[in-house]
Structure 1
């Protein structure tokens, strides 16, 4: 992956000049953009551009299979909580507090604590 538009005497579109520096820092973003450098999956992972990099398999679906594995790790009963840097810290903390307050009185919270104590998988019921 890369922002290679400078090879065409144009600048990256779709906010590339704004988003990349926010992820990897200004100096490294400038280097990648000015040099029109392409990075492979391992380098993209090292830079924090992606969360995972997997070697391709014979059937060409390694990334898909890894994504499914990750999805299975995510508990489907988790509240729909948004973690976002698009709000200021005070607002983010208020959102977190409101979500936490909704979780406290639930039976699922008690089940989660019991399962942790008993070293077993929780059996959530959405209650």
Structure 2
């Protein structure tokens, strides 16, 4: 991921810091502040940045497959995160945007963003240790 605006990086860092400390209210507060400042497009950009943090440098487009046994039985937020991160890994911003819009329409975006933040932290922790 390249050319991420400084404010987006600061917002993503704030989300990750809050998630690392287990402060879900602060994660939600950061996303709320982003929406107040930049609208849903800003929140999408922060979420896409979290997916980039989780994946790292994505492989060539179209080479990633979602391998999540039992995904159809998982909660909405867990399925959403798996599919959103898969969209990032496959360079598929259109699908990422569609997933984001569906979560908004379904009233599930806050839970999805909390799960994304938690999953990103869990991935970073697993890499570190």
Q: TM tier, shorter chain?
A: under 0.3
* Larger RCO of the pair (alpha carbons < 8 Å, separation 6+): 2
* TM-score of the pair, normalised by structure 2: 0.23
User: More helix by proportion, 1 or 2?
Assistant: 2
* TM-score of the pair, normalised by structure 1: 0.24
